Structures are given as C-alpha cells and as structure tokens.
Chains A and B, each alone.
Chain A
Amino acid sequence: QVQLVESGGGVVQPGKSLRLSCEASGFTFTKYGMHWVRQAPGKGLEWVAVISYDGSIKKYSDSVKGRFTISRDQSQKTLYLQMNSLRADDTAVYYCAKDPHGLVTGYPPDYWGQGTLVSVPA
C-alpha cells in the first residue's frame, strides 16, 4: 500500500532554513509527480509546490517562490522541500502528496502523508 512519511519539522527561528523529507513506498516513485501542501494552524489547506516524476518540472505558489525548493532523490525514493528565509507565516503542518496519474504532473493528489509540523515563532 502507498505510504508517505514526512520528517524534518521542528521549531526554527525566523530567517533560518529547514529541510523536510518525505519517504515514499508502495508505488513506483520514479513514475509519479509529487506535491507539498501545508495547513497553518486554524487555517485551510494551501498548495505549496509540485515536482514532476523526473524532476524536470517544478512549480511553486507565489507565497514561497524564491524561498523554497522542491527536489527528489529517485534512488532513495524521497521527496524534499528546502525552506529558506523562513517567516512566522510559514508555520504549518506540511504534507507530501502523490500525483494520481503516472507521468502526468500537477493533478490533485490521491495519497497523502500524515504531515510534519514546522513552527517559526514571530
């Protein structure tokens, strides 16, 4: 069965960096695009970024463009989110999620992880 396990969250000071990881199993990782989605405390879901199955396409929301970088390690079946210049409004649970169709990027995801919490104090 598909499993996505996020890690790397924690408390980080404003302006600092953090890297999130998402280990995937139960499907052919190299054939699927992957997303990061976040949920701030008491707020709704917000799409953050997507990467294509081969890493050739990367797209970001305006709120993180230029500060966050999505990447993937095919051999490790792991998705990453490098977060730089963190701000208080980046505080959220960060979920990784899988594209539903192989070799097609960006559609609403099907499987999600349980998320990892990133806290950036004001």
Chain B
Amino acid sequence: QSALTQPASVSGSPGQSITISCAGTSSDIGNYNLVSWYQLHPRKAPRLIIYEGSKRPSGISDRFSGSKSGNTASLTISGLQADDEADYYCCSYIGSFSLIFGGGTRLTVL
C-alpha cells in the first residue's frame, strides 16, 4: 500500500493559519476514523498533536486542529509561531493491526 499523500512543504508567516492535507483512499482514511498527526523536530521524539482525526491530547495547544472529509484528513495550525516550524506527518490505521504514514510535510515559518 502506498504512503498517504501530503504536500512536501507549506509555509506561512507568524500569526497566519496553514492547512496540511493528507490524502488517502477508502481503504485507510475513508474507512477508519483513526488518523493521527505528529510533529517532528530534529533530535526530538515525535510528538502526537492530533488523534482520532480531530482530538487533541492533553497539553496540545488549541491552535492545532484536525478534520476529515471523505478520504482526506487535514491539519490546521492557526496563529503560527516560530516554534511550529517542523515536519508534520499523518498516520492512519489500515486494518489488520497495521498503519500507514504520509510522506511528511515541512512547515516553514517565514
């Protein structure tokens, strides 16, 4: 199964909002409400920022929000801050105890 499709890069200025899409199929995103989003900073452990499509773990800013429409999930970051500059990955359950990740999106805060 191919990786979920994310844009390679997005950018925005401080204070602005950006949205990262994650396109899948009816076998993954479209079939399960089990999409998570992760933030990766260099030399740090990946951090969960959204789970089950739109839920935020404790301690994650409400500037991060997730949604899903059909076979595509989206992550929106509002009020961009310098520290948001990182790589972002979506991940979906695909059944049979297995997972698939997106190709990753590099966010640049201008």
Contacts and interface: CB of A to CB of B under 8 A. Distances in A.
Contact of B36 (A4, A50, A108): A108
Contact of A35 (B3, B43, B99): B99
Contacts, number: 69
B97 A106 contact: yes
B92 A108 contact: yes
Contacts of B109: none
A79 B97 CA distance: 17
B77 interface: no
Interface residues of B, number: 26
B38 to A, nearest CB: 8
Contact of A100 (B51, B92, B96): B51
A108 B102 contact: no
A61 B2 CA distance: 12
Contacts of A105: 97
A50 B92 contact: no
B91 A114 contact: no
30 contacts: A35-B99, A37-B101, A44-B3, A44-B104, A45-B38, A45-B89, A45-B101, A45-B104, A47-B91, A47-B101, A52-B97, A57-B97, A59-B96, A95-B46, A97-B46, A105-B97, A106-B93, A106-B98, A108-B34, A108-B35, A108-B36, A108-B48, A108-B99, A110-B48, A110-B51, A110-B57, A113-B45, A114-B43, A114-B44, A114-B45
Given A52-B97, A108-B36, A112-B45, 10 more contacts: A44-B89, A45-B38, A106-B97, A106-B98, A108-B48, A108-B92, A109-B48, A110-B48, A112-B48, A114-B44
Interface of A: 4, 35, 37, 44-47, 50, 52, 57, 59, 61, 95, 97, 100, 105-115
